[in-house]
Amino acid sequence: MKPIETINLFLQQPYIAVVGVSRNKNKFGNTVYKSLKKKGINVLPVNPHLTEFDGEKCFSDVETLPPHVKAVFVSTPPEKTMQIVEKAINKGIKHFWLQQGSTNDEVLKLLKEKQVDYTADRCIMMFAEPVGTFHGIHRFLSKLTGNYPQ
């Protein structure tokens, strides 16, 4: 599957779990969660230290997600991402988005071996419509320089 097809398939999932929401409002996981929710995407927050986030039930980890969730966005340090991905794959999750700074070679190797769909090291805010001005400019420049996925 082409990278842009993988991106579009991820964003078309009926539910997306966001791993990495936090009490810290400056964390990127929070921005993504709130932005996707505002865009009408059904998002579920995941954090082992919270029971509620942004007025919604917060799941302690991917293992506690409802079985209908098949997509996970990850915004965690790379040393935590491997365990999250392993648990998600074991649960039957097939679609992954690993935000920039959340992955490493070991995680990417596992995703390839398990033959699941994934996007890594790309900012989801450049693709989730409608795209805001800042990310729209970033997307335009990415297309202009040939770095936009085909």
For domain 3-144, give the fold: Rossmann fold (3.40.50)
The pLDDT-based confidence of 20 (bands split at 50, 70, 90) is very high
34: enclosing H helix or E strand = helix 28-38
Rg, C-alpha atoms of the chain: 15
Cβ-contact 48, 19 below 8 angstroms = no
pLDDT value at residue 1: 84
> Residue 140 is encoded by which pair of tokens?
């335009």
Phi, psi (5° rounding) for residue 91?
-85, -10
Residue 47 DSSP symbol: -
Tens of pLDDT, residues 99-146: 999 999 999 999 999 999 999 999 999 999 999 898 989 889 999 999
Average pLDDT, the chain: 95
pLDDT greater than 90 at residue 7 = yes
Hey, is 67 helix, strand or coil? coil
pTM tops 0.85:
yes
- Euclidean distance between CA atoms 148 and 150, whole angstroms: 6
In the chain, what are the domain boundaries? 3-144
53-68 pLDDT, tens digit each:
999 999 999 999 999 9
pLDDT of residue 118: 97
